[in-house]
Amino acid sequence: MSAPLTDRSDAGGEEMMGEINTTPLVDVMLVLLIIFMVTAPMFTHAVRVDLPRAESAANVEKPDRLDLSIDATGKLYWNAEVLSLAQLRERLDVAAKAETQPEVQLRADREVRYEIVAQVISAVRQAGIRKLGFVTDPADRSGR
């Protein structure tokens, strides 16, 4: 009588084999390889067009820039021209209706009251201007 193919334990169950069956893994990998080989040319296929050469500058249109400044006393400046808050609101309304909206860059003195800065920000937002930036001086290494 020949020996059984699997070892039987004392409890009567079969022991697990310590080897991994790699045949299903190889089958899956071969199927994926074939799928990629068939689909890869579709991704690289492009129409060849011989384009003419011309030299020109890049057409980059920069938006207008408005410099709003607030000094330590709370005076408003529109591109270095002194304005009141009411005049600022009027000019912002006109600027917001332009074909290309300007980019507003706000510079405020560190000693100015926050209330004035908040009023200017509110006026810019109410006018409908979407680009508002805050300009600061870079700090030196001492943190001042």
Does residue 4 surpass a pLDDT of 60?
no
How far apart are the C-alpha atoms of 67 and 103, rounded to whole Å?
9
- Kindly state the helix (H) or strand (E) to which residue 133 belongs, with its residue range: strand 132-134
Predicted pLDDT at 122: 92
Q: Which CATH architecture has domain 65-134?
A: 2-Layer Sandwich (3.30)
Round to whole Å and give the CA distance between 55 and 66: 33
User: Are 76 and 120 contacting, i.e. CB atoms less than 8 angstroms apart?
Assistant: yes
Compute how many other C-beta atoms are within 10 angstroms of the C-beta atom of residue 68: 23
Q: What is the pLDDT of residue 10?
A: 53
Please spell the DSSP secondary structure of 58-125, one letter per residue: ----PPPEEEEEE-TT--EEETTEEE-HHHHHHHHHHHHTSSSPPEEEEEE-TTS-HHHHHHHHHHHH
Position with higher pLDDT, 6 vs 112: 112
More confident residue, 105 or 140: 105
Asked whether the predicted pLDDT for residue 111 surpasses 90, the reply is no
pLDDT level of residue 130 (50, 70, 90 thresholds):
confident
Could you read off the pLDDT of 22-70 as tens digits, one per residue?
Answer: 899 999 999 999 998 888 877 766 667 666 777 766 656 666 788 888 8
pLDDT above 80 for 116 = yes
SS3 134: strand
* pLDDT for res 5: 52
Tokens of 102: 């300007």
Burial label, 40 (beta-carbon count in 10 A; 0-12, 13-18, 19+): exposed
- Percent residues over pLDDT 70 in the chain: 75
Report the percentage of the chain scoring pLDDT > 90: 15
Kind and range of the H or E element at 42? helix 23-44
Task: State whether the Cα torsion 106-111-112-113 is positive or negative.
Answer: positive
Per residue in 80-97, pLDDT tens?
888 888 998 998 888 888
